[in-house]
């Protein structure tokens, strides 16, 4: 399939449209990668010029159906079971278990969960800590395709590539040569939803959380957009609730109301007790 030409001007307006609707931010150095993904999708949709494709997406795309298809090709769903599991365990121990110990129900939201290995890891950790009956676990992503995979409970062997010997894997995951299958009750314990992180109204409707996990997603956003999302998440935290980001991510440079704290070697962003 021949690539359509993406001029700097059309790159600028097309990438701005993507950034505005889903947050993904592309620098000039990523123009070629962006061009090849968008061109592929534009040709498949029957377009012969990137400018025509842009006008269609911006002004003629009923219910943003084509835009959603484009977004699916741009999103990166890299994830795996037990990825950075120790920070998850610590966050549960420090911010979820105490509420349950007080006789209350706790709530966790895994935002940008991709194909689901992360919330399923959380579900296993909750079972390991005997908390599962007292915690609501919601997981979301923008990608319907990724969520379909998550809800199916069937994953590629790569999903377990780094942690096949994890003690919890033996209890909750069946490892076959061609697939990793999560136990049905584990999958059913996660409420998977399609949510755009830029959709403040949808996030507000989710209610309040003791712990929000949002890892390896805000790295694709501009600082300004990431700060905006974090501020929305901060409003969705109970007083003293916590936001966990990836180990290589930092929110320190962003203007947000959350305070960075170290808990058992893990950096966690905490809402103030009066939020
Ligand atoms: C690299 S994966 C991270 C998965 C998981 N959190 C982890 O750390 O293993 C990034 C995910 O962010 C999702 N994402 C990107 N932009 C989003 C948006 N605006 N709203 C919701 N999800 C988004 C992508 O679909 C993708 O599944």
Distance of CA 65 from the midpoint of ligand 1 (Å)? 19
Distance of CA 102 from the midpoint of ligand 1 (Å)? 33
What pTM did the predictor assign? 0.96
Look at the block and give the residue holding tokens 């409970």.
153
| Residue 130 structure tokens | 């005997």
Dist CA 14 CA 85 (whole Å) = 37
- Ligand 1 is surrounded, with C-beta below 6 A, by 22-23, 75-79, 83, 112-114, 118, 141-143, 146, 196-198, 215-217, 220, 246
pLDDT tens across 33-53, in order?
Answer: 999 999 999 999 999 999 999
What are the phi and psi torsion angles at 195 (to 5°)? Answer: -140, 130
Dist CA 7 CA 14 (whole Å) = 10
Dist CA 268 CA 261 (whole Å) = 5
**Confidence at 3, pLDDT banded by 50, 70, 90:** confident
Look at the block and give the residue holding tokens 């009956």.
133
Count of other CB atoms within 10 angstroms of residue 69: 14
Q: Are 108 and 136 in contact (CB under 8 A)?
A: yes
pLDDT tens across 148-207, in order?
Answer: 999 999 999 999 987 888 899 999 999 999 999 999 999 999 999 999 999 999 999 999
């Amino acid at each position: 399939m021949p690539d359509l030409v993406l001029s700097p001007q059309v790159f600028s307006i097309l990438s701005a449209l993507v950034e505005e609707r889903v947050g993904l931010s592309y620098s000039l150095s990523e123009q070629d990668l962006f061009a090849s993904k968008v061109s592929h999708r534009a040709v498949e949709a029957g377009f012969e010029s990137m400018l025509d494709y842009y006008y269609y997406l911006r002004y003629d795309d009923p219910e943003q159906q084509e835009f959603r298809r484009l977004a699916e090709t741009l999103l990166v769903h890299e994830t795996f079971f037990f990825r950075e599991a120790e920070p998850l365990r610590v966050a549960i121990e420090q911010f979820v278990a105490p509420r349950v110990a007080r006789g209350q129900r706790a709530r966790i939201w895994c935002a940008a969960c991709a194909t689901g290995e992360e919330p399923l890891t959380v579900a296993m950790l909750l079972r390991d800590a005997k908390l599962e009956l007292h915690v609501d676990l919601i997981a979301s992503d923008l990608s319907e395709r990724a969520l379909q995979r998550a809800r199916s409970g069937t994953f590629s062997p790569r999903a377990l590539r780094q942690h096949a010997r994890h003690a919890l894997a033996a209890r909750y995951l069946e490892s076959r040569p061609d697939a990793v299958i999560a136990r049905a009750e584990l999958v059913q314990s996660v409420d998977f939803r399609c949510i755009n992180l830029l959709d403040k109204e949808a996030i507000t409707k989710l209610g309040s959380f003791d712990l929000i996990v949002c890892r390896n997603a805000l790295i694709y956003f501009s600082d300004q957009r990431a700060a905006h999302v974090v501020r929305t998440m901060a409003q969705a935290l109970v007083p003293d609730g916590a936001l966990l980001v990836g180990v290589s991510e930092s929110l320190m440079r962003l203007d947000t109301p959350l305070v960075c704290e170290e808990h058992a070697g893990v950096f966690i962003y905490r809402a103030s007790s009066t939020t």
